[in-house]
């Protein structure tokens, strides 16, 4: 939804904060027994009994994390939820609740926020999440979204980043690099549109890439899959900033090294063909692109037989002693030190 589409509609100043919150959230129904009290009081009340509580939060700012000239508000609402749920699943937990806080400038009418919350509601229904609170306020700088996700896990099931051991296998879910390339495609089409407003966007050949950028999915299914396979990772995190950054996080926290094999990195055919078209190196895109929201984890070699035939999981390397460093083993069998060049939120 573009800016000029947002300028007509019901001004938020006519509604007021409390009526606005009620209007945007009255269609959200409580799903979990752990949600004792949701929206409607000074605090939400949760009861996790004997479980450990997992809490994560993310802030998304217009012009830094998203561009509304090509990001539909419904997609943005959905993605904002996914970003947070992914962190809970990366701890091997089960996400249950979210709070949503937004700051909006006066160029956003009520109908624009209804679109945003429609996307949030779709995500909550798809992933069985309760919306339990939040806040709304005005902004002089466009749209800001802050979401906090809350989840639960048994103490014995939680996986941290610091448990990887030498000889563990490095495993990734899905495929990498598509979200970054989707962003490049959308940016290119934006420039074409700015040069010629009558030009029609050419996205037919990039459907998967654009979907991965605009409407990513969190890997809740992997948490269940690993439990069903009786595999508990030794370390795990989600790939939000790029594979290189996340590998370095795990290696630093676990005080280990790693060998990552270039020829094992899973790439969708659309990623390979689009890299050729854009004259980009597919390995660089996979390492540094980010926003894939796949899970990266390590497992004991004893667990390899349990996962080796699963199409959702790819072994891409192994953990080494710290003194060996963190390296990419290229297709030509050269060893190159991995340096994080992924997303940096402060740049």
Neighbours of 109 (CB within 10 A): 18
Query: Are 71 and 201 contained in the same domain?
Result: no
Q: 318 - beta bridge partners?
A: 169, 259
Could you tell me if residue 162 is inside a domain?
A: no
Are 312 and 225 contacting, i.e. CB atoms less than 8 angstroms apart?
Answer: yes
Confidence at residue 342, expressed as pLDDT on a 0 to 100 scale: 56
Could you tell me if residue 292 is inside a domain?
A: yes
Query: Are 55 and 138 contained in the same domain?
Result: yes
CA dist., res. 119 & res. 116, Å (int)? 5
Q: Which residues of 63-77 are buried (b: 16+ CB within 10 A; e: fewer)?
A: eebbebebbbbbbbb
Confidence at residue 4, expressed as pLDDT on a 0 to 100 scale: 41
Confidence at residue 28, expressed as pLDDT on a 0 to 100 scale: 82
Confidence at residue 5, expressed as pLDDT on a 0 to 100 scale: 45
CA distances from 279 to 91, 197, 250, 331, 337 (A): 36, 26, 31, 19, 23
CA dist., res. 25 & res. 17, Å (int)? 12
CA distances from 239 to 77, 102, 165, 282 (A): 20, 25, 20, 16
> Which domain CATH number covers 76?
3.30.1330.10
> Which domain CATH number covers 222?
3.90.650.10
Query: Are 259 and 315 contained in the same domain?
Result: yes
Nearest to 324 by CA among 256, 236, 223, 229: 256
Sign of the alpha-carbon torsion through 272, 225, 311, 305: positive
pLDDT in tens, the chain (347 residues): 344 444 578 888 777 777 887 888 888 888 888 888 877 777 888 888 889 999 999 999 999 999 999 999 999 999 999 999 999 999 999 999 999 999 999 899 999 999 999 999 999 999 999 999 999 999 988 999 999 999 999 999 999 999 999 999 999 999 999 999 999 999 999 998 888 887 877 788 899 999 999 999 999 999 999 999 999 999 999 999 999 999 999 999 999 999 999 999 999 999 999 999 999 999 999 999 999 999 999 999 999 999 998 999 999 999 999 999 999 999 999 999 998 765 555 45
Which domain, by its residues, includes 296? 169-337
Confidence at residue 27, expressed as pLDDT on a 0 to 100 scale: 82
Could you tell me if residue 255 is inside a domain?
A: yes
Could you tell me if residue 224 is inside a domain?
A: yes
Confidence at residue 44, expressed as pLDDT on a 0 to 100 scale: 80
Query: Are 271 and 190 contained in the same domain?
Result: yes
Residue where a domain terminates, one of 156, 188, 214: 156
Are 68 and 3 contacting, i.e. CB atoms less than 8 angstroms apart?
Answer: yes
CA dist., res. 240 & res. 148, Å (int)? 16
The total number of structural domains that make up the chain:
2
Query: Are 19 and 76 contained in the same domain?
Result: yes
Burial class (CB in 10 A: 0-12, 13-18, 19+), 188: middle
Burial class (CB in 10 A: 0-12, 13-18, 19+), 253: middle
Residue where a domain terminates, one of 156, 180, 200: 156
CA dist., res. 322 & res. 165, Å (int)? 10
Could you tell me if residue 342 is inside a domain?
A: no
Could you tell me if residue 175 is inside a domain?
A: yes
Confidence at residue 6, expressed as pLDDT on a 0 to 100 scale: 46
Query: Are 128 and 245 contained in the same domain?
Result: no
Query: Are 173 and 149 contained in the same domain?
Result: no
Nearest to 95 by CA among 118, 128, 121: 128
Which are the contacts of 153, defined by CB distance < 8 A and separation ≥ 6? Answer: 51, 52, 54, 91, 92, 93, 94
Could you tell me if residue 347 is inside a domain?
A: no
């Amino acid at each position: 939804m573009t800016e000029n589409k947002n300028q007509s509609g019901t001004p938020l100043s006519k509604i007021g904060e409390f009526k606005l919150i009620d209007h945007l959230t009255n269609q959200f129904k409580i799903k979990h027994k752990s949600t004792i009290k949701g929206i409607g009081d000074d605090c939400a009340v949760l009861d996790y009994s004997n479980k450990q509580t997992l809490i994560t939060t993310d802030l998304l700012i217009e012009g830094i994390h998203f561009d509304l000239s090509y990001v539909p508000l419904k997609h943005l609402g959905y993605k904002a939820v996914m970003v947070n749920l992914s962190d809970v699943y990366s701890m091997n937990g089960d996400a249950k609740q979210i709070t949503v806080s937004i700051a909006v400038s006066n160029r956003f009418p009520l109908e624009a926020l209804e679109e945003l919350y429609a996307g949030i509601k779709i995500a909550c229904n798809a992933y069985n999440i309760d919306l339990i609170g939040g806040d709304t306020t005005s902004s002089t700088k466009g749209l800001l979204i802050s979401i906090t996700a809350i989840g639960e896990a048994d103490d014995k099931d939680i996986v941290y980043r610091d448990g990887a051991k030498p000889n563990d296998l490095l495993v990734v879910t899905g495929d990498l690099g598509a979200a970054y390339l989707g962003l490049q495609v959308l940016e290119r089409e934006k420039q074409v549109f700015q040069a010629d407003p009558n030009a029609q966007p050419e996205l037919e050949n990039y459907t998967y890439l654009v979907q991965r950028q605009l409407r990513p999915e969190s890997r809740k299914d992997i948490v269940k899959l690993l439990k069903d396979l009786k595999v508990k990772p030794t370390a795990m995190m989600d790939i939000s900033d790029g594979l290189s950054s996340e590998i370095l996080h795990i290696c630093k926290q676990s005080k280990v090294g790693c060998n990552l094999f270039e020829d094992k990195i899973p790439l969708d055919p659309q990623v390979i063909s689009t890299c050729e078209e854009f004259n980009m190196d597919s390995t660089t895109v996979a390492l540094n692109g980010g926003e894939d929201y796949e899970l990266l984890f390590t497992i004991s070699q004893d667990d390899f037989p349990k996962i080796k035939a699963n199409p959702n999981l790819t072994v891409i390397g192994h953990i080494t002693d710290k003194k060996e460093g963190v390296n990419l083993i290229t297709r030509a069998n050269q060893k190159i030190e991995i340096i994080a060049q992924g997303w940096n939120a402060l740049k």
